[in-house]
Every structure is written in C-alpha cells, then in structure tokens.
Amino acid sequence: MQQYETFELKFNAQAPAGSWVDIDLNATFSCDGDSQTVRGFYAGNSTYIVRFYPTKPGHYRWQTTGVVAASGEEVCEPAVTGHHGMVRRDGLHFKYDDGSRYQPFGTTVYALLHQDRPLIDQTMATLAAAPFNKVRLCVFPKHYDYNYNEPDYFAFEKTDGQWDVHRPCFPFWDALENRLRQLADLGIEADLILFHPYDRWGFAKLSLHDCLVYLDYLTRRLSAIPNVWWSLANEYDLMTEFAADWWPTFAHFIAEHDPASHLLSNHNFIRYWNFADPATSHCCIQGNNVEDVGTFQQKYGKPVVFDECRYEGNLPHSWGNISAFEMVNRFWKACTLGGYCTHGETYLNPEEIVWWSRGGRLIGQSPARIRFLRETLTSLPGPLEPVQSFFPLNKDQVKRRAEHIPPEMADNPIFKVVLTFNEEELARLALAARNFAGHFGDQVFLHYLERMCTSKLMLQLPADKRYRVEVIDVWEMTRKVVLEGVSGQVEVGLPGKEGMAVLATRI
C-alpha cells in the first residue's frame, strides 16, 4: 500500500447470480483509529475487487463482508516522489492531497476512449509532450460531426438488444482504467464526463434508474483512482431526455457513493449548472465570457474553470475556429483573474481526426504559449485573485460605495453618475471598464492587457514595498525585466501591441 495510490484487493468467488453491479461486498480499512468503508465491484471472470485510496501512511487493517469474508493487514508507505494524491478544492483554487498547488491547464479529447489503439497511442504521445495537466473525456462514445466511428465496446453489454446497465462490459472498463493510469503517469487529471447528448446508441436516453445503476458501478470501480474528476455531463442542458431534477440527484448520489470525494461539476451549453449545489466542487463553464471569473468566484465561492471557451482551429462551426492568439488570450484573461481555462484544438484534416474529440496530433500554436503561461504562473509564490475595480460594477457594489464614498472620489463626476446606473448599464460599464489584473497579496501584481495596444501602463504598487517589474509578451513568450526596486506609481513602457502583460513581483 502506497500513500496516494490505489490499493486493490482481489478475490475469486462465484459470479453474481443477478446484477453484476449491485453486489454485496464491502471492505473497511482502519488505521490509527480512523476507518473507512468502501464498496467492492465485480470485474468479470469470477473476480471481485475492492479498492481503497489511502491518504496517510501507517499500519492498516482491513476486513471485507458480503460475497467474500476476508481480513488482513498492510503497511502504507509514505508517498513516492511525484505522487501528490487527489486534487482538492482549496478556496478559489486547487491543491493536491500532499498540499502542493495544482493549477489546471486542461485540454479536451472527448472521445479518447472510443478510438482505435494506434490513435490512442499517438494521443498519449502527444499529451506527453504537451503542457496540459487535465483532459476532458467522455465515458460514452460520441456521435457528432467528424465523430461517426463505431467503438469496439461500450460501458455495458446488451440483453435482448437493450443496454443492460447491470452487465458492465469489462473490457471497456479495463481499457478506461488503462487510460486513467496512462494519464496519471503523465501527471494529467482525467475530467471524466459521465453523460452527454451527442449519441446514436441510446446512452442519452437511459432511464433514471439505469443512470443510477451506471453511477453505482462507476463509483465502486473508479473512486479510489486519484486522478479522476466527475463531470456530470458535457452540455447537460441539451440532454432533453433527462429531467432537470435528475442532475442534482446524480450529484447527490455520487457524493454519497464516492468515499474519496473527487472533484465534481457539470458543464453547460447555455444554462449554467447550479454551482451552489453542495456536491459541486468548482464552477465548470462553457462560455466566451472569461472576463466573468470574478463574478462566478463571488457568487459561488468556488474555483472557476472555463472548460470550454471555444477551440483553436478552422472548423465552420462557430465554436471551433478561434485563432491560436485568441485561445492564448482567453487563457491569460481567465488566469490573470485567478480562474482557469481549458484548451481544445479543431483543425480539420482529410482523415477528420480532430484533436478536440478524437486526439491524434496537435498542430496549433497555442499549446507552446499555454506552457509559457503555466511556467509563468507556477513561478509565482501563490494563486492570483482579481484586483478590485475602481468602479462599482453591480447594484450591491453601488449600494456599498454610495454608503461609503471614498474621499478621493467625492468630486469625480463619473463616479457620481455610475452610482445612478441600473443593472444593465452597470453590466455595460463592467464590459467597458474591464481590467485583467490579478494579485497575490502584495507579493505579485499581474496586469494582462489582452488586445489593448497601449504604449504604457501606469502601475500602482504599494509605496512601502519594492518590486521588480517585467514586461511579458504572451505570444513571443518573453519576459523582460524593465524596472528593479520600484515602489508606488510607476510608468511601464510597452510596445503598443496586443498580448502584453506586466508582472510586478515583490523583492
């Protein structure tokens, strides 16, 4: 047993007579007075497995009940270097179980599991050389433009021509786990999409009962695997055969059946998931509005991940043809505000193997820049949060400002006018006045100037601290120190082009 790694007990016993999912097998793991009971699963071929995710080293005793009655002892060794454990929510950010920071830089290969082996191998090789540490991928196969290949197997077998959720297809789950392990070896979290609407096989038309049987098996089998996140769906709001109240039911079911409490969220087409849901760990957003990171942070108090802000590519579909620069631009915008962003690539080729869904090779120019961003952000002493706007940008802020007008604002005509604005006017002001500036206490101030071609930036730094100021070109991937040991208001010269950032670090 190794801290932060899946521990597995395997038993042989007679195959279940009825459901292969709803089996009677539990195991309790105890160490130093703590104990946790986990459910086992049937893995086919008269094999039963129980998995456990140990978060602390020590001397464990375990005991199973049900189909198999067994017990034993294990010494859990401290984590091996490179094994940080599961990713957890840490306020508005994330951290691994070992306390180290995790900053998601995701990509999508939605139908990764349903490609043939050579393509999967190529995808894994690409990921090994890419800057991404999270991949969004679907359990069920995808039926959509450029995605019409028939997979070899599915999550379930059929009985009488109908999907039989009580009969998991073991080769499928074995393959899924192999993919999860491969991703783990590359340091990549698997943001596993449990449902989606792009379907010709019937998985988007399962009954509520069948969905819950599927989630039962899923949680029994995968909960002890560290690098798994639960994404209830991709575009849940397009699943017209699922009633709206199924989704909180799914979230609640998983929360009850996942003893390791993996991260969980749900991805929208247009209607955002209710991120206030207690089982939901973070905001998972489809939208172009990466400038709204702070709004989501304030509303939900959870990390904000723009898991689809369109894709770098050249598809005719409006969501699949932003430029590499614009993809990089959106990453910098989201990250400067202390949010996170997800990449996807949609360059069409004659084979119609498009990275965004099927994998293969990356040919775009954004991944190198996303690596540069990742290196830049991981070089900082802590996670960023948005710098407060000069103007109140919603009615609550207006009310607070009107009650406590800052003395230096008392005669500012714009300030006076803004206090009279309605919500719609404030929203337009927020767009006009938006400012991609983040800070980590007084240690770091990052201004990302996005498409502004300004020739200089006036930077307001604390007067009693000293800073090094760097000018960053997010496309050329350069960092240049332009000022050393400065304080208070400083003017930073800039080249007057898009994609510049200014980073002030306390020295």
- Kindly state the smallest distance separating residue 244's Cβ from a copy of itself, in Å: 9
Residue 193, Ramachandran bin (φ over 0: left; ψ between -120 and 50: alpha; else beta):
beta
Crossing angle of helices 395-403/423-432, nearest 10°? 90
**Residue 12 binding a copy of itself, by CB under 8 A:** no
Lookup: tokens for 299: 């509303």
- Kindly state the smallest distance separating residue 140's Cβ from a copy of itself, in Å: 16
Chosen residue from 2, 261, 321, 505 binding a copy of itself by CB under 8 A: 321
* Residues contacting a copy of itself: total by CB under 8 A: 45
What's the rounded Cα separation, in Å, for the pair 318 and 338? 27
Binding window for a copy of itself (CB under 8 A); candidates: 32-40, 49-57, 314-322, 469-477: 314-322
Binding window for a copy of itself (CB under 8 A); candidates: 32-40, 167-175, 178-186, 316-324: 316-324
Answer for the pair 318, 417: CB distance below 8 angstroms, yes or no.
Answer: no
**Residue 394 binding a copy of itself, by CB under 8 A:** no
- Kindly state the smallest distance separating residue 420's Cβ from a copy of itself, in Å: 8
**Residue 202 binding a copy of itself, by CB under 8 A:** no
Chosen residue from 289, 365, 389, 443 binding a copy of itself by CB under 8 A: 289
DSSP 8-class letter at 229: E
Answer for the pair 285, 277: CB distance below 8 angstroms, yes or no.
Answer: no
**Residue 452 binding a copy of itself, by CB under 8 A:** yes
Half-sphere exposure of residue 211: CA atoms within 13 angstroms, side-chain side: 23
**Residue 318 binding a copy of itself, by CB under 8 A:** yes
**Residue 82 binding a copy of itself, by CB under 8 A:** no
Write the CA distances from 253 to 61, 110, 217, 256, integer angstroms: 28, 24, 12, 5
**452 versus 482: smaller Cβ distance to a copy of itself:** 452
**190 versus 418: smaller Cβ distance to a copy of itself:** 418
Chosen residue from 224, 457, 461, 501 binding a copy of itself by CB under 8 A: 457
**32 versus 411: smaller Cβ distance to a copy of itself:** 411
Chosen residue from 70, 129, 417, 507 binding a copy of itself by CB under 8 A: 417
Binding window for a copy of itself (CB under 8 A); candidates: 83-91, 130-138, 320-328, 375-383: 320-328
**Residue 389 binding a copy of itself, by CB under 8 A:** no
Chosen residue from 69, 75, 453, 507 binding a copy of itself by CB under 8 A: 453
What's the rounded Cα separation, in Å, for the pair 346 and 114? 18
Site map (CB under 8 A) of a copy of itself, residues 467-506, x = contact: -----------------------------xxx--------
Site map (CB under 8 A) of a copy of itself, residues 345-364, x = contact: ---x----------------
Lookup: tokens for 340: 């996170």
What is the helix (H) or strand (E) element at residue 40, kind and residue range? Answer: strand 34-44
Binding window for a copy of itself (CB under 8 A); candidates: 39-47, 102-110, 184-192, 311-319: 311-319
What's the rounded Cα separation, in Å, for the pair 355 and 348? 9
Lookup: tokens for 133: 């540490």
CA end-to-end span of the chain, whole Å? 44
**Residue 287 binding a copy of itself, by CB under 8 A:** yes
What's the rounded Cα separation, in Å, for the pair 60 and 75? 6
Query: Residue 386 carries which side chain, given as an amino acid letter?
Result: P
Lookup: tokens for 326: 């614009």
E runs forming strands in 309-354: 312-313, 340-342, 345-346
- Kindly state the smallest distance separating residue 498's Cβ from a copy of itself, in Å: 6
**100 versus 455: smaller Cβ distance to a copy of itself:** 455
What's the rounded Cα separation, in Å, for the pair 26 and 470? 56
DSSP 8-class letter at 157: E
Give residues 217-256 in contact with a copy of itself (rule: CB under 8 A): 237-238, 240
**Residue 323 binding a copy of itself, by CB under 8 A:** yes
Half-sphere exposure of residue 249: CA atoms within 13 angstroms, side-chain side: 14
DSSP 8-class letter at 452: -
DSSP 8-class letter at 214: H
**17 versus 270: smaller Cβ distance to a copy of itself:** 270
Q: In what order do the strands lie in the sheet with 304-308?
A: 264-265, 228-233, 189-195, 134-138, 105-108, 340-342, 304-308, 283-286
**Residue 316 binding a copy of itself, by CB under 8 A:** yes
What's the rounded Cα separation, in Å, for the pair 480 and 472? 6
- Kindly state the smallest distance separating residue 304's Cβ from a copy of itself, in Å: 16
Binding window for a copy of itself (CB under 8 A); candidates: 47-55, 174-182, 313-321, 336-344: 313-321
Chosen residue from 55, 249, 288, 394 binding a copy of itself by CB under 8 A: 288
Which residue carries 């991940």 as its tokens? 305
Answer for the pair 222, 86: CB distance below 8 angstroms, yes or no.
Answer: no
CB-based burial label for 173 (10 Å; 0-12, 13-18, 19+): buried
Chosen residue from 59, 200, 428, 466 binding a copy of itself by CB under 8 A: 428
- Kindly state the smallest distance separating residue 463's Cβ from a copy of itself, in Å: 21
**156 versus 391: smaller Cβ distance to a copy of itself:** 391
What residue ranges bind a copy of itself (CB under 8 A)?
197, 237-238, 240, 269-271, 287-289, 313-316, 318-319, 321-323, 326, 348, 413-414, 416-418, 421, 425, 428-429, 431-433, 435, 451-458, 496-498
